[in-house]
Amino acid sequence: MRKFMDYVFVALMMKDENLEWIEIPPDKLVKDGKIHSLTVNNKSFCIVFTTEWHAFASKCPHASAPMANGWCEKNKVVCSYHRRKYDLDSGKGDEGQGDFLKIFPLKEIGDKVFIGFAKGFWKNLFK
């Protein structure tokens, strides 16, 4: 039941009105297939372009290793530390891992790319 409630919470938080959209500086959008670590508005994350843009947590949920040292293969990001693999769309770890990598939503408007961060509790309370 807890996992189901976690999914419901994530689905509610990912609604557009619960997100703060921040533009990623165009000079940071490098389409080279490598993982890049970025900090925008004091929020750290990794971004990579495979066939599309993906953004995810900068630290591995397993051992807090920097995900920017990893690589991508078959729509998964691989942590360089223990070779843990996470789906680039859902963040779900491979079978038997039992963990998730936080995935951040992205949207493209024209040639601009925006990343969505969950608004804080107080911002949602007083909107």
Q: Report whether pLDDT(14) > 90.
A: no
Domain boundaries, the chain: 2-125
* Choice between 4 and 52, residue whose per-residue pLDDT is larger: 52
Q: Extract the tokens encoding 49.
A: 């372009």
Write down the pLDDT at residue 5: 47
What is the CATH architecture assignment of 2-125? 3-layer Sandwich (2.102)
Q: Cα–Cα distance between 31 and 47 in angstroms, integer?
A: 10
Q: What is the mean pLDDT of residues 31-38?
A: 96
* Choice between 106 and 8, residue whose per-residue pLDDT is larger: 106
Q: Mean pLDDT in the chain?
A: 87
**Rounded to the nearest 5°, which phi and psi values hold at 81?**
-75, -55
Whether the model clears a pTM of 0.85, i.e. scores above it, the answer is no
Write down the pLDDT at residue 9: 43
What is the torsional sign of CA 19, 41, 45, 4?
A: negative
pLDDT digits (tens, 9 = 90+) for 68-114: 999 999 999 999 999 999 999 999 999 999 899 999 999 999 999 99
Write down the pLDDT at residue 8: 45
Q: Cα–Cα distance between 76 and 93 in angstroms, integer?
A: 9
Q: What is the percentage of the chain residues whose pLDDT exceeds 70?
A: 83
